[in-house]
Structure 1
Amino acid sequence: MIWHLIAAVFAALGAAGIGLILRMASGNRLPKWIIPVFAGLGMLGYQIHYEYSWLDHKLEQLPPTARVVQTEQDSMPWRPWTYLYPLTVAFSVVDQSSMVAREANDQQLVEFILYRFEKEYVDRLSHQPYLMNCATAEMVPLSEETRQPRTEAMRRLNEGSRLLEAVCSPW
Protein backbone atom coordinates (compact mmCIF):
# COMPACT_ATOMS: atom_id res chain seq x y z
CA MET A 1 0.00 0.00 0.00
CA ILE A 2 2.81 2.42 0.86
CA TRP A 3 4.46 1.74 -2.51
CA HIS A 4 1.32 2.83 -4.35
CA LEU A 5 1.28 6.05 -2.37
CA ILE A 6 4.92 6.68 -3.23
CA ALA A 7 4.24 5.89 -6.90
CA ALA A 8 1.25 8.27 -6.93
CA VAL A 9 3.40 11.06 -5.43
CA PHE A 10 6.10 10.53 -8.06
CA ALA A 11 3.48 10.46 -10.83
CA ALA A 12 2.15 13.79 -9.49
CA LEU A 13 5.65 15.27 -9.35
CA GLY A 14 6.43 14.10 -12.87
CA ALA A 15 3.19 15.45 -14.28
CA ALA A 16 3.66 18.74 -12.38
CA GLY A 17 7.12 18.97 -13.94
CA ILE A 18 5.57 18.58 -17.38
CA GLY A 19 3.12 21.36 -16.52
CA LEU A 20 5.99 23.56 -15.35
CA ILE A 21 7.98 22.90 -18.55
CA LEU A 22 4.92 23.75 -20.66
CA ARG A 23 4.41 26.96 -18.70
CA MET A 24 8.06 27.94 -19.10
CA ALA A 25 8.06 27.01 -22.81
CA SER A 26 5.08 29.29 -23.39
CA GLY A 27 6.95 32.22 -21.86
CA ASN A 28 4.77 32.10 -18.70
CA ARG A 29 1.64 32.75 -20.79
CA LEU A 30 -0.03 29.63 -19.42
CA PRO A 31 -1.70 30.23 -16.05
CA LYS A 32 0.02 29.12 -12.84
CA TRP A 33 -2.80 26.74 -11.97
CA ILE A 34 -1.73 24.45 -14.83
CA ILE A 35 1.00 22.95 -12.61
CA PRO A 36 -1.29 21.61 -9.82
CA VAL A 37 -3.84 20.52 -12.44
CA PHE A 38 -1.15 18.42 -14.13
CA ALA A 39 -0.12 17.03 -10.71
CA GLY A 40 -3.70 15.99 -10.00
CA LEU A 41 -4.08 14.45 -13.44
CA GLY A 42 -0.82 12.54 -12.91
CA MET A 43 -2.09 11.06 -9.64
CA LEU A 44 -5.46 10.24 -11.16
CA GLY A 45 -3.81 8.67 -14.20
CA TYR A 46 -1.60 6.47 -12.01
CA GLN A 47 -4.57 5.35 -9.91
CA ILE A 48 -6.64 4.47 -12.97
CA HIS A 49 -3.72 2.55 -14.47
CA TYR A 50 -3.20 0.64 -11.21
CA GLU A 51 -6.87 -0.28 -10.89
CA TYR A 52 -7.17 -1.56 -14.46
CA SER A 53 -3.88 -3.50 -14.34
CA TRP A 54 -4.74 -5.18 -11.00
CA LEU A 55 -6.05 -8.38 -12.61
CA ASP A 56 -3.01 -8.80 -14.88
CA HIS A 57 -0.68 -8.15 -11.93
CA LYS A 58 -2.42 -10.78 -9.78
CA LEU A 59 -2.45 -13.33 -12.61
CA GLU A 60 1.32 -12.92 -13.05
CA GLN A 61 1.78 -13.89 -9.40
CA LEU A 62 -0.17 -17.16 -9.76
CA PRO A 63 1.42 -20.47 -10.78
CA PRO A 64 1.08 -21.54 -14.44
CA THR A 65 -1.34 -24.31 -13.43
CA ALA A 66 -3.93 -21.80 -12.15
CA ARG A 67 -6.95 -21.24 -14.39
CA VAL A 68 -9.33 -18.32 -14.07
CA VAL A 69 -12.90 -19.61 -13.98
CA GLN A 70 -14.81 -16.40 -13.23
CA THR A 71 -14.28 -12.64 -13.25
CA GLU A 72 -16.57 -9.98 -11.82
CA GLN A 73 -16.74 -6.46 -13.18
CA ASP A 74 -18.44 -3.48 -11.60
CA SER A 75 -19.12 0.20 -12.18
CA MET A 76 -18.98 2.78 -9.38
CA PRO A 77 -20.36 6.33 -9.21
CA TRP A 78 -17.15 7.72 -7.62
CA ARG A 79 -15.24 6.29 -10.61
CA PRO A 80 -17.34 7.56 -13.52
CA TRP A 81 -14.99 6.09 -16.16
CA THR A 82 -16.02 2.60 -14.99
CA TYR A 83 -19.40 3.10 -16.67
CA LEU A 84 -17.57 3.14 -20.01
CA TYR A 85 -15.05 0.43 -19.11
CA PRO A 86 -16.19 -1.66 -16.12
CA LEU A 87 -13.49 -2.43 -13.56
CA THR A 88 -12.59 -6.02 -12.62
CA VAL A 89 -13.17 -6.22 -8.87
CA ALA A 90 -12.93 -9.98 -8.23
CA PHE A 91 -11.97 -13.25 -9.86
CA SER A 92 -11.98 -16.96 -9.01
CA VAL A 93 -9.19 -19.41 -9.74
CA VAL A 94 -8.70 -23.18 -9.67
CA ASP A 95 -5.17 -24.54 -9.28
CA GLN A 96 -5.13 -27.66 -11.42
CA SER A 97 -2.00 -29.04 -9.77
CA SER A 98 -3.79 -29.45 -6.44
CA MET A 99 -6.81 -31.35 -7.78
CA VAL A 100 -7.36 -34.94 -6.66
CA ALA A 101 -9.38 -37.33 -8.85
CA ARG A 102 -11.38 -40.20 -7.41
CA GLU A 103 -13.85 -42.70 -8.74
CA ALA A 104 -16.99 -43.75 -6.88
CA ASN A 105 -19.93 -45.75 -8.23
CA ASP A 106 -18.43 -45.52 -11.76
CA GLN A 107 -18.51 -41.71 -11.63
CA GLN A 108 -15.54 -39.39 -11.85
CA LEU A 109 -15.18 -37.19 -8.74
CA VAL A 110 -12.61 -34.40 -8.44
CA GLU A 111 -11.66 -32.65 -5.21
CA PHE A 112 -10.35 -29.12 -5.74
CA ILE A 113 -9.95 -25.75 -4.02
CA LEU A 114 -11.63 -22.67 -5.43
CA TYR A 115 -9.71 -19.46 -4.66
CA ARG A 116 -11.45 -16.08 -4.79
CA PHE A 117 -9.51 -12.81 -5.03
CA GLU A 118 -11.29 -9.52 -4.30
CA LYS A 119 -9.91 -6.05 -4.95
CA GLU A 120 -10.40 -3.80 -1.97
CA TYR A 121 -8.13 -1.31 -0.23
CA VAL A 122 -6.29 -4.47 0.88
CA ASP A 123 -6.74 -7.46 -1.44
CA ARG A 124 -8.82 -10.28 0.00
CA LEU A 125 -8.26 -13.95 -0.66
CA SER A 126 -10.70 -16.65 0.35
CA HIS A 127 -10.68 -20.33 -0.49
CA GLN A 128 -13.08 -23.22 -0.21
CA PRO A 129 -12.55 -26.93 -0.97
CA TYR A 130 -15.16 -28.54 -3.23
CA LEU A 131 -16.02 -31.95 -4.62
CA MET A 132 -17.19 -32.04 -8.25
CA ASN A 133 -19.07 -34.89 -9.90
CA CYS A 134 -17.96 -34.55 -13.52
CA ALA A 135 -20.71 -36.82 -14.87
CA THR A 136 -23.62 -34.88 -13.38
CA ALA A 137 -21.92 -31.44 -13.13
CA GLU A 138 -22.81 -31.23 -9.45
CA MET A 139 -20.55 -29.39 -7.04
CA VAL A 140 -20.66 -29.64 -3.26
CA PRO A 141 -18.53 -27.69 -0.74
CA LEU A 142 -16.46 -29.66 1.73
CA SER A 143 -16.10 -28.70 5.37
CA GLU A 144 -12.68 -27.25 6.15
CA GLU A 145 -11.85 -29.54 9.08
CA THR A 146 -13.33 -32.93 8.26
CA ARG A 147 -13.50 -32.67 4.45
CA GLN A 148 -17.05 -34.05 4.61
CA PRO A 149 -19.50 -32.89 1.91
CA ARG A 150 -22.09 -30.31 2.94
CA THR A 151 -24.91 -31.61 0.75
CA GLU A 152 -27.32 -28.82 1.70
CA ALA A 153 -25.16 -26.40 -0.33
CA MET A 154 -24.87 -28.59 -3.44
CA ARG A 155 -25.39 -26.86 -6.78
CA ARG A 156 -25.46 -27.90 -10.41
CA LEU A 157 -23.29 -26.14 -12.98
CA ASN A 158 -24.23 -25.38 -16.57
CA GLU A 159 -22.67 -27.57 -19.26
CA GLY A 160 -20.60 -24.70 -20.68
CA SER A 161 -19.29 -23.55 -17.30
CA ARG A 162 -15.62 -22.55 -17.22
CA LEU A 163 -15.35 -24.06 -13.73
CA LEU A 164 -16.67 -27.44 -14.94
CA GLU A 165 -14.26 -27.38 -17.89
CA ALA A 166 -11.26 -26.42 -15.72
CA VAL A 167 -11.94 -29.14 -13.14
CA CYS A 168 -13.10 -32.02 -15.33
CA SER A 169 -11.13 -31.57 -18.56
CA PRO A 170 -7.77 -32.93 -17.26
CA TRP A 171 -9.40 -36.23 -16.31
Structure 2
Amino acid sequence: MLFELIAVIVAGVAAGGVVMIVRRIIPALPRWLVPVVAGAAMLAVSISLEYSWFARNSAALPEGVKVATVHENKAFWRPWTYAFPYVDRFIAVSQTGALENEAAEGQKMTSLYIFGRWTPTRRIRAVFDCESGRRADLLPGLVLGEDGSVPDSAWIDTGRDDPVTRTACAEA
Protein backbone atom coordinates (compact mmCIF):
# COMPACT_ATOMS: atom_id res chain seq x y z
CA MET A 1 0.00 0.00 0.00
CA LEU A 2 2.83 2.37 0.87
CA PHE A 3 4.60 1.68 -2.41
CA GLU A 4 1.42 2.37 -4.36
CA LEU A 5 0.96 5.67 -2.54
CA ILE A 6 4.56 6.60 -3.35
CA ALA A 7 4.03 5.62 -7.01
CA VAL A 8 0.93 7.81 -7.27
CA ILE A 9 2.71 10.80 -5.70
CA VAL A 10 5.79 10.34 -7.92
CA ALA A 11 3.56 10.17 -11.01
CA GLY A 12 1.88 13.44 -10.05
CA VAL A 13 5.16 15.21 -9.34
CA ALA A 14 6.74 13.90 -12.55
CA ALA A 15 3.79 14.87 -14.76
CA GLY A 16 3.54 18.28 -13.12
CA GLY A 17 7.29 18.77 -13.58
CA VAL A 18 7.12 17.90 -17.26
CA VAL A 19 4.33 20.44 -17.79
CA MET A 20 6.34 23.08 -15.90
CA ILE A 21 9.28 22.47 -18.25
CA VAL A 22 7.00 22.63 -21.29
CA ARG A 23 5.57 25.94 -19.94
CA ARG A 24 9.11 27.36 -19.90
CA ILE A 25 9.45 26.46 -23.58
CA ILE A 26 5.90 27.53 -24.52
CA PRO A 27 4.95 30.42 -22.18
CA ALA A 28 1.47 30.73 -23.73
CA LEU A 29 0.29 27.60 -21.86
CA PRO A 30 -1.93 28.43 -18.88
CA ARG A 31 -0.57 28.03 -15.34
CA TRP A 32 -3.52 25.89 -14.23
CA LEU A 33 -2.36 23.15 -16.59
CA VAL A 34 0.34 22.01 -14.12
CA PRO A 35 -1.97 20.86 -11.30
CA VAL A 36 -4.57 19.50 -13.73
CA VAL A 37 -2.02 17.28 -15.50
CA ALA A 38 -0.49 16.23 -12.15
CA GLY A 39 -3.91 15.25 -10.82
CA ALA A 40 -4.81 13.40 -14.02
CA ALA A 41 -1.54 11.46 -13.87
CA MET A 42 -2.18 10.52 -10.24
CA LEU A 43 -5.69 9.36 -11.09
CA ALA A 44 -4.45 7.36 -14.09
CA VAL A 45 -1.75 5.60 -12.05
CA SER A 46 -4.21 4.86 -9.25
CA ILE A 47 -6.73 3.34 -11.68
CA SER A 48 -3.99 1.36 -13.40
CA LEU A 49 -2.83 -0.10 -10.08
CA GLU A 50 -6.40 -1.08 -9.17
CA TYR A 51 -6.96 -2.90 -12.44
CA SER A 52 -3.57 -4.65 -12.49
CA TRP A 53 -3.74 -5.91 -8.86
CA PHE A 54 -5.42 -9.22 -9.72
CA ALA A 55 -3.10 -9.98 -12.63
CA ARG A 56 -0.01 -9.26 -10.54
CA ASN A 57 -1.15 -11.38 -7.59
CA SER A 58 -2.53 -14.31 -9.55
CA ALA A 59 0.65 -14.49 -11.65
CA ALA A 60 2.70 -14.71 -8.45
CA LEU A 61 0.88 -17.81 -7.18
CA PRO A 62 3.11 -20.87 -6.90
CA GLU A 63 2.66 -23.89 -9.13
CA GLY A 64 -0.30 -26.00 -8.06
CA VAL A 65 -2.29 -23.12 -6.57
CA LYS A 66 -5.24 -22.29 -8.81
CA VAL A 67 -7.63 -19.34 -8.74
CA ALA A 68 -11.08 -20.70 -7.99
CA THR A 69 -13.28 -17.62 -7.83
CA VAL A 70 -13.00 -13.85 -8.21
CA HIS A 71 -15.11 -10.94 -7.01
CA GLU A 72 -15.58 -8.00 -9.35
CA ASN A 73 -16.19 -4.60 -7.80
CA LYS A 74 -18.38 -1.77 -9.04
CA ALA A 75 -18.83 1.55 -7.23
CA PHE A 76 -20.86 4.66 -7.98
CA TRP A 77 -17.90 6.95 -7.14
CA ARG A 78 -15.97 5.11 -9.86
CA PRO A 79 -18.46 5.28 -12.72
CA TRP A 80 -16.10 3.54 -15.17
CA THR A 81 -16.34 0.35 -13.07
CA TYR A 82 -19.89 -0.23 -14.29
CA ALA A 83 -18.50 -0.69 -17.78
CA PHE A 84 -15.22 -2.29 -16.67
CA PRO A 85 -15.45 -3.84 -13.18
CA TYR A 86 -12.18 -4.71 -11.48
CA VAL A 87 -11.29 -7.69 -9.28
CA ASP A 88 -10.82 -6.71 -5.65
CA ARG A 89 -10.63 -10.18 -4.06
CA PHE A 90 -10.25 -13.81 -5.03
CA ILE A 91 -9.92 -17.30 -3.57
CA ALA A 92 -7.16 -19.67 -4.65
CA VAL A 93 -6.98 -23.38 -3.87
CA SER A 94 -3.82 -25.43 -3.34
CA GLN A 95 -4.17 -28.57 -5.41
CA THR A 96 -0.69 -29.98 -4.83
CA GLY A 97 -0.92 -30.23 -1.05
CA ALA A 98 -4.32 -31.94 -0.98
CA LEU A 99 -4.60 -34.87 1.42
CA GLU A 100 -7.19 -37.63 1.28
CA ASN A 101 -8.69 -39.30 4.34
CA GLU A 102 -8.74 -43.03 3.78
CA ALA A 103 -11.43 -43.42 6.45
CA ALA A 104 -13.74 -41.05 4.54
CA GLU A 105 -13.99 -41.83 0.84
CA GLY A 106 -14.21 -38.82 -1.48
CA GLN A 107 -12.95 -36.23 1.00
CA LYS A 108 -9.94 -34.00 0.43
CA MET A 109 -8.20 -31.61 2.80
CA THR A 110 -6.44 -28.64 1.24
CA SER A 111 -5.59 -24.99 1.80
CA LEU A 112 -7.68 -22.05 0.64
CA TYR A 113 -5.98 -18.70 0.17
CA ILE A 114 -8.21 -15.65 0.41
CA PHE A 115 -6.71 -12.58 -1.23
CA GLY A 116 -8.26 -9.15 -0.83
CA ARG A 117 -7.23 -5.73 -2.00
CA TRP A 118 -5.85 -3.79 0.99
CA THR A 119 -6.21 -6.81 3.32
CA PRO A 120 -3.69 -9.43 4.39
CA THR A 121 -3.90 -12.83 2.72
CA ARG A 122 -5.61 -15.48 4.83
CA ARG A 123 -4.95 -19.21 4.68
CA ILE A 124 -7.70 -21.60 5.74
CA ARG A 125 -7.42 -25.38 5.85
CA ALA A 126 -10.63 -26.98 4.64
CA VAL A 127 -12.02 -30.44 4.04
CA PHE A 128 -14.12 -30.95 0.91
CA ASP A 129 -16.62 -33.75 0.51
CA CYS A 130 -16.40 -34.04 -3.25
CA GLU A 131 -19.27 -36.51 -3.57
CA SER A 132 -21.79 -34.52 -1.51
CA GLY A 133 -20.65 -31.03 -2.52
CA ARG A 134 -19.87 -29.62 0.91
CA ARG A 135 -16.99 -28.02 2.76
CA ALA A 136 -15.81 -27.85 6.38
CA ASP A 137 -13.35 -25.14 7.41
CA LEU A 138 -10.82 -26.42 9.93
CA LEU A 139 -10.93 -23.44 12.27
CA PRO A 140 -9.39 -23.37 15.75
CA GLY A 141 -11.60 -25.16 18.26
CA LEU A 142 -12.98 -27.69 15.79
CA VAL A 143 -12.65 -31.18 17.28
CA LEU A 144 -12.19 -33.95 14.74
CA GLY A 145 -13.20 -37.56 15.35
CA GLU A 146 -10.59 -40.19 16.24
CA ASP A 147 -10.49 -41.34 12.62
CA GLY A 148 -10.07 -37.76 11.38
CA SER A 149 -13.73 -37.35 10.49
CA VAL A 150 -15.34 -33.94 10.54
CA PRO A 151 -18.42 -33.48 12.77
CA ASP A 152 -21.71 -32.95 10.94
CA SER A 153 -22.17 -29.48 12.46
CA ALA A 154 -19.03 -28.18 10.72
CA TRP A 155 -20.15 -28.91 7.15
CA ILE A 156 -21.34 -26.15 4.84
CA ASP A 157 -23.40 -27.20 1.81
CA THR A 158 -21.78 -25.59 -1.22
CA GLY A 159 -23.04 -27.83 -3.99
CA ARG A 160 -20.95 -29.55 -6.59
CA ASP A 161 -21.17 -26.54 -8.89
CA ASP A 162 -19.42 -24.22 -6.42
CA PRO A 163 -16.21 -23.04 -8.12
CA VAL A 164 -14.10 -23.48 -4.97
CA THR A 165 -15.40 -27.02 -4.44
CA ARG A 166 -14.87 -27.90 -8.11
CA THR A 167 -11.29 -26.59 -8.02
CA ALA A 168 -10.46 -28.36 -4.75
CA CYS A 169 -11.91 -31.67 -5.95
CA ALA A 170 -10.23 -31.52 -9.38
CA GLU A 171 -7.12 -33.56 -9.93
CA ALA A 172 -3.92 -31.53 -9.79
Fold match (TM-score > 0.5): yes
Go from structure 1 to structure 2 and tell me whether the alpha carbon gap of 1:90 and 1:147 turns closer, same or farther (over 3 Å shift): farther
Secondary structure of the residue aligned to 2:166 is: helix
Distance 1:147 1:51, change over 3 A: farther
> Partners in 1 of 2:61 and 2:76 — Cα distance?
31
SS at match of 2:96: helix
1:47 — aligned with what?
A: 46
What displacement does 1:79 show?
Answer: 2.5
Q: In the alignment, which residue of structure 2 is the partner of 1:137?
A: 133
Residue deviations 1:114-133, cap 9 Å, x none? 1211112xx32223221111
For the structure 1 residues 18 and 91, does the alpha-carbon distance in structure 2 shift closer, same or farther, using more than 3 Å as the test?
A: same
Give the structure 1 partner of residue 159 of structure 2.
Answer: 158
**3-state DSSP of counterpart to 1:94:** strand
TM-score for both structures, normalised by structure 2: 0.83
Q: Is the 8 A contact 1:140 1:151 kept in 2?
A: no
Alignment correspondent of 1:170 = 171
**Compared CA separation, residues 5 and 166, structure 1 to 2 (3 A):** same
In the alignment, which residue of structure 2 is the partner of 1:108? 106
Matched residue, 1:11: 11
**Using a 3 Å threshold, how does the CA distance of structure 1 residues 151 and 141 change in structure 2: closer, same or farther?**
farther
Matches of 1:43 and 1:156 in 2, distance apart?
A: 45
RMSD: 2.3
Paired residue type of 1:48: I
Alpha carbons 2:106, 2:130 under 8 Å: kept: yes
Q: Corresponding residue for 2:147? A: none
Question: 1:19 Cα deviation (Å)?
Answer: 2.6
List per-residue Cα deviations over 1:25-53 (Å, max 9, x = no partner): 5x322211111111111111111111111
Q: Please give the alpha-carbon distance, in whole angstroms, between the structure 2 residues aligned to 1:113 and 1:19.
A: 50
Contact 1:91 1:116 in 2 (8 A): yes
- Partners of 2:72 and 2:89 within 8 A in 1: yes
Q: Size of the alignment, in residue pairs?
A: 167
Alignment identity in percent? 27
What's the CA shift string for 1:60-80, capped at 9, x where partnerless?
332121111111112223323
Q: State whether residues 130 and 141 of structure 1, in contact with CA within 8 Å, keep that contact through their aligned partners in structure 2.
A: yes
Unaligned runs of 5+ in 1: none
- Distance in 2 between residues matched to 1:21 and 1:153, nearest whole Å: 65
Q: Are the equivalent residues in 1 in contact too, given 2:12–2:39 (CA < 8 A)?
A: yes
Q: Is the 8 A contact 1:131 1:140 kept in 2?
A: yes
Shift of 1:24: 4.7
Separation in structure 2 between the aligned mates of residue 155 and residue 2 of structure 1, nearest angstrom: 38
Match of 1:20 in 2: 20
